[in-house]
Every structure is written in C-alpha cells, then in structure tokens.
Amino acid sequence: MPPAPFSLDGKLALVTGSGLVPQAIAALFRDAGATVVHAAEPVLDEPSVAALFEPLDALDILVNGSVRAGPWPIDRLDLSEWDRVHAVNVRGAFLLMRAAVRVMRAHGRGGRLINLSTIGAVHPVLHGNFAYGSSRAGTNALTRQFALDFAADHILSNAILVGAIRSDPFPQGCPMPPTGPGMDPGRLPLGQGKPEDVAPLALLLASDAGRYINGQAIAVDGGFSIA
C-alpha cells in the first residue's frame, strides 16, 4: 500500500482502454487500494455509456484511456478514418466525462477525471498525425473545460501527454510507417519509456496528493519536448 497521500483505499475507479498504458494504470490503482472497473472497448454512443455506468452507484476516478491512433499520409486519409479517430478520442472522451461528472456530483464527494492524451497534441511528433494530433488537441480542450466548470464541485480534470512510451502497435491497415522527430533517439534524452512510467502520474492525479492540480496537461515523454 502506498503512503497515505497516494492511497486510493475505498475509491472506485473506472479505467477505459485496452492498451498497455491503461492496463498499467489499472494495476497500480488496484495496488493503491482502489476497486477498479476496467472497460477495454471504446465507448462511442450514449447507450453504451449508459450500460457502462448503470451498475455504478458511485464513482471517484475516471481514466479515459481509449485510443485510436496511427499516422496516415494525407492522400490516403479518408473521412471515415478521420471520423473513427475523432469518435474514439474526442466524442468518447466527452461522453464518458459527462457521465462521470453526473455520478460524481450526485454523490457529492468530488472526483478525478484523467485523460490519456499525447505530446503530439502540442508538438508534432510523427509525420501523418493529422487525425490523431488534432483529436487529442480536442481531448486537451475538454480537459480544461471540465476543470473550469466543475472545480467548485471538487471534480478535478487533468490530461497526461504520453510520448516516447513503448506501447501498442498501430491499427491494422495503417499504411504509413512511423517517421518523424518522435522516432529520433537524439530527441529522447531518457530513451524510450514503458507503460509503467505513465501510471505513477495517474496515481498522483487520482489521489489526495494531487488535490491542488487541475486543468493541466502534463507530459511524460522522456524529455522529448525539451530536446
């Protein structure tokens, strides 16, 4: 069990996403004492959200880790792929955050909203990241808006800008190999990280230790953004 400020004892956390980073976060939250509900599939519509939240009579922490990523050359990026990326990364995030806030406000003890985003939302990382980078910029904007609107309810909202992490492969059919500054070892002062390097920041933001952090987008990128 972690030290008291980082304990999640008695907390209920909903973690979404099938990737290695949300899995690492869910595991660390359990180690910190939380009861974790892990939903692997992305949530894209209101009926799916309702079904996910129906058995939850309370919620303390939401980690939105669902992701649709992948670089696409501009002449092969059709609107169907653009829409899929934005549906998962922006629409899904909004639906989950809206539902979580409704539950958190109803039980009146505050809560934490944590979005997994990317350093590519604020700094170009890979060639062809048109859909993913723009969708995560939308996620970051949602993070800040929820942080402003629900601070009075003690519902804090923050984003983690993930970068330089050995994680999941791109979706099948992605026609473009990853190239760009994010693939340059010289731009990674600490080298590539692991999913377990992201999870402790999520624990900070979810726990009492992060009670005065709100509306922030914090990079975990091995120093890429300063190299």
Return the bridge partners of 37, or none.
Answer: 14
SS3 84: helix
Residue type, 171: P
Please choose, from the candidates 75, 77, 96, 76, the residue with its C-alpha nearest in 3D space to the C-alpha of residue 85.
77
Cα 17 vs. chain centroid, distance in angstroms? 9
The whole-angstrom separation of Cα 117 and Cα 112 is 16
212 belongs to the catalytic site:
no
The whole-angstrom separation of Cα 148 and Cα 172 is 38
Q: How is residue 95 written in tokens?
A: 């639906």
Give 225's DSSP letter.
Answer: G
The whole-angstrom separation of Cα 100 and Cα 81 is 27
Catalytic residue among 29, 72, 132, 146: 132
The whole-angstrom separation of Cα 226 and Cα 156 is 27
Please choose, from the candidates 136, 123, 47, 30, the residue with its C-alpha nearest in 3D space to the C-alpha of residue 88.
136
The whole-angstrom separation of Cα 137 and Cα 133 is 6
Would you please indicate which residues are annotated as catalytic (active-site) residues? Answer: 132
